Amino acid sequence: MKDWKNLLLLGLALVVLLICSIPLPAQTDPAAAKRVPPDVQMQRGPHHENDVHQLIEAIYISRLQEDLKLTDEQYASLIPAVKNFLRVRHSGARLKNQRERELNLMLKEGAPSEQVQAKLNELEQLKKQIEKDVETAQNVVNAKLDVNQRALFHQYQQNVDQRINRMIQQIREGPRRQRREGNTPSTEEKKGPPPAQPQPPNPD
């Protein structure tokens, strides 16, 4: 039953992350915006990011008690702390990615060096603050675990993160692979039409 539940969660996460991976066209191009299906346009945005976070949160929690060998009491106490840790980490990553996109846009548009330096400083300060916030949230989780469980939680994080990263990579590679396969001529097309057979001469 647990394996079925985990597969369902992973499948839902794949669907949501696939939709999130679709790049939106620039707002300055109305024609391009019309080419994006309305349902995709409606699903993109902060509320959709929350859906993704909740699915990732569900994946994290699905095997937490079993893999960390937690008692029922420990599990009930740990869940809020783990959720807060994931929320802090997700929020920090989202802010960092946003600042990095802003920096890349400034470089692309040839912004003055003073503005670029200011954005770099802002990004560095943000990274330090994120690291501090994540460490604080991690310490709250660690305080509820013994030494062995802390080590197991560290291992658990790595395993789940790797699984999610593989899922995201597969999602991103899927459309590219389809495009490559769609643009690659089949074996029969490569061979071309069969050579014309010589016709016997007509008798006079």
Tell me the per-residue pLDDT of 7-62, one tens digit each, with 9 for 90 and over: 445 555 554 444 444 443 334 344 434 444 433 333 444 455 667 778 888 888 88
Question: If you count them, how many residues does the chain have?
Answer: 204
Instruction: Give the angle subtended at the CA of 180 by the CAs of 177 and 184, to the nearest 5°.
Output: 140
Is the pLDDT reported for residue 200 higher than 60? Answer: no
42 contacts 32 by C-beta, under 8 angstroms: no
Q: What was the pLDDT predicted at 44?
A: 44
198 contacts 47 by C-beta, under 8 angstroms: no
Q: What was the pLDDT predicted at 55?
A: 81
Name 85's Cβ contacts closer than 8 Å, sequence gap at least 6.
134, 137, 138, 140, 141
Residue type, 199: Q
Tell me the per-residue pLDDT of 75-120, one tens digit each, with 9 for 90 and over: 999 999 999 999 999 999 999 999 999 999 999 999 999 999 999 9
In the predicted model, what is the mean pLDDT of residues 162-191?
A: 68
Q: What was the pLDDT predicted at 32?
A: 39
Q: What was the pLDDT predicted at 24?
A: 39
Q: Is 181 exposed, middle or buried (0-12, 13-18, 19+ CB in 10 A)?
A: exposed
What are the residue ranges spanned by the domains of the chain?
A: 2-22+37-172
d(CA 115, CA 90): 27
Tell me the per-residue pLDDT of 125-164, one tens digit each, with 9 for 90 and over: 999 999 999 999 999 999 999 999 999 999 998 998 888 8
